[in-house]
Structure 1
């Protein structure tokens, strides 16, 4: 009752006073929070004046020395209490609160803790929560908003009156007066310039808590790094704020938000306010994060969003080290994965005459630029791998703030940096795959962004997208390759037009991927459309037109349309002979493919005669050990094997394997292909020992060079299983067939022809084992 009398005399809106407080401490804590929110002007001074009038004999209100035990006794809140209101929902930071308390409580006399971390991780909220929980531990608690260095001293000086110092006594006198108290706490929040608070070291029983995005603040005292939320904490906050959001959906959103506490709170507010379906919001976050980073409200922090969270830090960094901002903007255009810094230092010429380009040419300058960016907690450096990570939402906010022309120029630059490190991708040379594999996330991200532009970035994006599609196709990732090529084609139609040769080429590549994926109807339709357009635009005899007709013939053959395939191949062979000459390499290849079409159609005599003619022509034109000659010899061997002429087949296969080992070496893909074909011939001939040993060796090579999940390695595993089955090794054969089926289902899907073939082989192996 007496406490409410003080409130009424001071003019406090009594209707807002806490009527259900269980203790004096809880009562005055709630009052302090209301005052911090501005419930009445000059609230603390008016309350103190009212208390002095009502209780003139009470020493508590006559000077600072009499306040020693006021807070712990529950009779008042700490002198100077101006701490912001605590969060309504505070989650996931109990371990950090314990760490802060351990450091501050464990120091024998004085302690300074520096909370540092990137913007949005909740450093301020953590400091607020600590101050509220430990208000009763201190006689004086004062909060200084230290974002603007020039105002720090002024804010400290405002504490003078409450410490019975003359008005205008100044920050240094206030700081000295704090030493008269045994227990006091000052919080310097959001320190932008650590030098601005460096002189305010705690004395006596003082404790200082600093929050800052600057890594340099670590030098002020004992550093405590505030990390991102754990996934569990993100889910807890999302589900608490957004009713009806299940844990799995919340976990998916948290991943897209990178577990940044401010972003999690903002997203929860947006979902709660709009009732937007979670799946749709997740799609927007994934595809267009720049468009949603300013959507939603954070409780008690009006106007603060992910979009503007880092504005001040970037402006400060730009003034100090503009090259570091250039680096941030370029990194924001890559994928969310760590960016290898070697991309920049290996190709400084791509950066031109920019400040960043100059720094990339000098080791010391480069270290300074990277250090400045990391020092502002706008990126994280993994020194072991020399890679820089920019949080996905920092990147999104950075892209949002970049002018369109800066984005376009930046995309041209990062595309150039990637292209400088990527070899031309030949699907038969695994040595070129490493850089593509390592940089693939960045290649895809940059290509997809740059394909929406025009100008220099677009041409580089075409090259990146085409190479990435080749890599994905080679590794059986057909769905991803098709999606990327469709995006490439749509962009080329927009920028170049539907009849541009580059557009037609991309459409042809799309048909190739459809064919590889077993989508033969789509492949044939694609080839036919491209062929018709090339005939119309380029003419019947243009090399691209003839090439399209040959690709169409191959798809027709794969689909079992043998008459159509033979007719197409016959025309291609005739066209090549007429245009290029009978002995041209393309003519020889077309005749070989025609012979293969005869073989697939069951016209074996014609096939063998055509293969023999092709081999004789190649031996005459290319020599006995030319790569084209060895190819023709291997094809003829397969035809002999198909008609049961195994001795002749084995002889030719052995010749090819020996020649390729001699000319290319054992560890060449073509050599291993020849050994694989020879092993299959051994199996057909019943030479089980050789038929098992050789494919084991080939499988070991392909797993080592290509990877165990590469389509060619899976094929080798299937061939080994067939050889084991023929030799009566049913248990191992079934195990390998089972693995092949699982691998192909995962890689190609259940409806792919290769998956269906693996299923039939497994079923046959199980039946043969049962009958054995």
Structure 2
């Protein structure tokens, strides 16, 4: 064995620079050089340069490590990810970078993570266990390639000088004496005055609602642009009231120390931007003289900024991309953040960050922090009334903190006097009240694009739900609405221009071919609009919606259209603006929506809509149709006798208006027959009720044919009566006939086809043909899940039936799984006391006992 190398005898350097080869060694070299300028070259140890030739490198490293007072961990963009064939090197035992940092942490040295070249701050999940303590340590950020080195080194020196200076003594000023190293401090360009770095970032104000997650999102976007090498702004965009300006101020305030220059430019008035850039030039020590235009000023600014180091410029409130084009060169070598109401920046933006509303949890937490103790439900209701809009939440919090008014009363006033109360809530965290911002945007929209402003006011009478462009196109075909909107609906490009104009204002989102108004803004518009104008807008909207092409609400292919129409129909039906004209198109749409609701098992909403129609529509065929929908809703809600009473009046009207054998009359007889049969199951005459069903089948078969869907619906109901009477084989034959012919006429996934399949499975189970029943129920359950969704009563009925069949075939575990799903769904949709829910309780209790879970029996 050789003789061990002697321990190094020179004094240990007080500053130890730890770095990863292959990450960014130039950054570590820069740190060593510049700290050497400040404290002397022997004060800094970096292994690549500080180990003498022939020295024992391991012994030398640990000698300086033990003796150092300051440990700098240089973290570049690849520090976490550099790997070899064994995985990431940082996570390998014996890795030098890891061992050096872990030992420094154990020795309680002053450890400072230095983030270079846009590296992100490591999180606990990124680090091995012995380095996790690093996440609690304050970092210093330095982008040596972007010339922010001076600022970072200054910050670093201020922190470590009290520790290092006693160990190294005085160091000659750079430039004094022969061979002195050039100083970073002497690198400032000639002609620039000494003093603090130019900065004018506004404070966020006393009522600012901090948004650390949103600040991190902006920071991530800025760092991603740096890392990509692209030159361009990061656009922070969102609608009015989402807090873009305050977020940008919070971000800039948290990052200005990392920049040689941090400057705020109010850009909502593009004509005033040049004068603000001139002020920046003066702060940089530039004498612009008689420079005539922006084309000369911007290059001079870029040169001065580059001489300073990396810079941060915030252009707040830029109306659109064209307004920033003259200043894009200012992003070459620095960070430029733009706030705007539009996200349509295309390739001019190097990065984007959309600002949205608060989450409900955040709104409630922030309101509670400002307002003190209050019931969560009260704050939740207030947050809902404020639409979780940051400006609205901020204004409400500031107002209520200083006013003798409770959150509940504030929400009431907000609903009834929206514009007035939003105008009162001024907080210094926002440049103007929300009402003022909306009013100014509407004024500008009216001046620039009058038709777009008219469109916005029409949207206020609709629901807070997507309003597709196709609605306006349909309205144009019906010539419904003001001429400007009809003309726009007739020309897709013109309609697109209106949508673009609205989107640029930031009043509410416009994307995916639809307008997306929200309740607080709509209430603001309504509170400022004459009642006669609102009534006219509601009449226009009824005509637009009625003109939208739609199919039979029982057809799955039509359901997308009804999903879009539904919220707006309900909003107009409850708006208080009566359909005095009795528009037949609107009434036909309302009837179709009622039937759609029944098909989708929302019988309660269907009942309310139908009841309102019955009360307001004059007697006649349309009123009878509304009564028919009301009876259907009551039937689905389980009140069969009330449904029968309503259907009697419908049948009388149909016989009088259409005749005895007309399709609508047969439908009324069909409905009345099933009402009476269902009511008879408790204490009535089942034979008489079944005879009515048989008569309807005969008449529909004779008039419509045996394959007609209406005939098949009557046959399906007759099969139900046969099953209830114990004639299972006859019921199965009828149900299989229905299933086959429904599939041929309507398709295999139509709800009527699937209901016939469920009925056939019931018959098979009653005949003890359990494997066949199970196979059919599994296939049907999959189809129902895809077609109607997991919470539809038909799907839940299928899950219940599947649980029963699985139980019969011995698969108790899967049976319990489906029974639990059926029970949870039925409790949510039907309630605890509904017979179907109670039936599921009994099955699930039995299955839990059989699975050995005696303590899990349901009450």
Offset at residue 751 of structure 1 (A) = 1.6
The match for 1:715 is: 797
CA contact (8 A) 2:244 2:355 kept: no
CA contact (8 A) 1:123 1:226 kept: no
Q: 1:456 to 1:402 in 2, by over 3 A?
A: farther
Distance 1:664 1:196 in 2: 56
Deviations 1:210-230 (A, max 9, x none): 654466889988666461355
Offset at residue 747 of structure 1 (A) = 0.9
Q: 1:71 to 1:749 in 2, by over 3 A?
A: same
Choose which of 348, 356, 366 in structure 2 pairs with 1:228.
Answer: 356
Offset at residue 740 of structure 1 (A) = 2.4
> Where does 1:321-360 land on structure 2 (aligned, <5 Å)?
321-345=449-473, 347-350=475-478, 354-360=483-489
CA contact (8 A) 2:707 2:741 kept: yes
- Say if 2:555 is the partner of 1:416: no
- Say if 2:559 is the partner of 1:433: yes
The match for 1:746 is: 828
> Where does 1:306-385 land on structure 2 (aligned, <5 Å)?
306-345=434-473, 347-350=475-478, 354-382=483-511, 385=512
The match for 1:470 is: 595
Q: 1:730 to 1:602 in 2, by over 3 A?
A: farther
Offset at residue 634 of structure 1 (A) = 6.0
- Say if 2:534 is the partner of 1:407: yes
The match for 1:564 is: none
CA contact (8 A) 1:69 1:139 kept: no
Q: Secondary structure, in 3 states, of the residue corresponding to 2:574?
A: helix
Deviations 1:156-206 (A, max 9, x none): 788999999999989969969978796598866545587777657759999
- Say if 2:570 is the partner of 1:444: yes
Choose which of 121, 127, 132 in structure 1 pairs with 2:242.
Answer: 121
Q: 1:273 to 1:373 in 2, by over 3 A?
A: same
Offset at residue 749 of structure 1 (A) = 0.8
Q: 1:285 to 1:731 in 2, by over 3 A?
A: farther
Offset at residue 268 of structure 1 (A) = 1.1
Distance 1:105 1:736 in 2: 53
Offset at residue 265 of structure 1 (A) = 0.8
Q: Secondary structure, in 3 states, of the residue corresponding to 1:294?
A: helix
Offset at residue 105 of structure 1 (A) = 10
Offset at residue 752 of structure 1 (A) = 1.8
Distance 2:563 2:766 in 1: 38
Offset at residue 339 of structure 1 (A) = 3.3
Offset at residue 757 of structure 1 (A) = 3.1
Offset at residue 744 of structure 1 (A) = 1.4
Deviations 1:370-404 (A, max 9, x none): 3333334344444xx43343455444444444444
Q: 1:266 to 1:508 in 2, by over 3 A?
A: farther
> Which structure 2 segments of 5+ residues have no match?
1-189, 853-859
Distance 2:228 2:814 in 1: 67
Distance 2:588 2:468 in 1: 20
Distance 1:228 1:630 in 2: 51
Q: 1:627 to 1:601 in 2, by over 3 A?
A: farther
Offset at residue 454 of structure 1 (A) = 4.9
Q: 1:158 to 1:487 in 2, by over 3 A?
A: farther
Distance 1:67 1:397 in 2: 52
Offset at residue 134 of structure 1 (A) = 7.4
The match for 2:205 is: 87
Q: Secondary structure, in 3 states, of the residue corresponding to 1:308?
A: helix
Distance 1:264 1:643 in 2: 62
> Which structure 1 segments of 5+ residues have no match?
1-64, 73-77, 532-541, 549-574
Deviations 1:5-51 (A, max 9, x none): xxxxxxxxxxxxxxxxxxxxxxxxxxxxxxxxxxxxxxxxxxxxxxx
Offset at residue 263 of structure 1 (A) = 1.6
The match for 1:17 is: none
CA contact (8 A) 1:92 1:233 kept: no
The match for 1:262 is: 391
CA contact (8 A) 2:201 2:264 kept: yes
Task: Tell me the number of residue pairs that the alignment of Structure 1 and Structure 2 aligns.
Answer: 647
Q: Secondary structure, in 3 states, of the residue corresponding to 1:265?
A: helix
Distance 1:510 1:149 in 2: 59
Deviations 1:661-708 (A, max 9, x none): 677776665555445444433433333344444444444444443333
Q: Secondary structure, in 3 states, of the residue corresponding to 2:355?
A: coil
Distance 2:681 2:249 in 1: 80
Deviations 1:591-633 (A, max 9, x none): 7876777776475666777777777777777776677776666
The match for 2:176 is: none
Distance 2:481 2:522 in 1: 23
Q: 1:422 to 1:197 in 2, by over 3 A?
A: closer
> Where does 1:284-295 land on structure 2 (aligned, <5 Å)?
292-295=421-424
Superposed CA RMSD: 5.5
Q: Which segment is superposed worse, 749-758 or 217-226?
A: 217-226
- Say if 2:857 is the partner of 1:736: no
Choose which of 293, 305, 312 in structure 1 pairs with 2:433.
Answer: 305
Offset at residue 309 of structure 1 (A) = 0.8
Distance 1:697 1:441 in 2: 33
Offset at residue 748 of structure 1 (A) = 0.8
Distance 1:612 1:195 in 2: 74
The match for 1:59 is: none
Q: Which segment is superposed worse, 212-221 or 289-298?
A: 212-221
Q: Secondary structure, in 3 states, of the residue corresponding to 1:319?
A: helix
The match for 1:518 is: 638
Offset at residue 659 of structure 1 (A) = 6.3
CA contact (8 A) 1:518 1:753 kept: no
Distance 2:383 2:477 in 1: 39
Q: Secondary structure, in 3 states, of the residue corresponding to 1:369?
A: helix
CA contact (8 A) 2:553 2:593 kept: no
TM-score (normalizing by structure 2):
0.59
Deviations 1:552-575 (A, max 9, x none): xxxxxxxxxxxxxxxxxxxxxxx9
CA contact (8 A) 1:92 1:229 kept: no
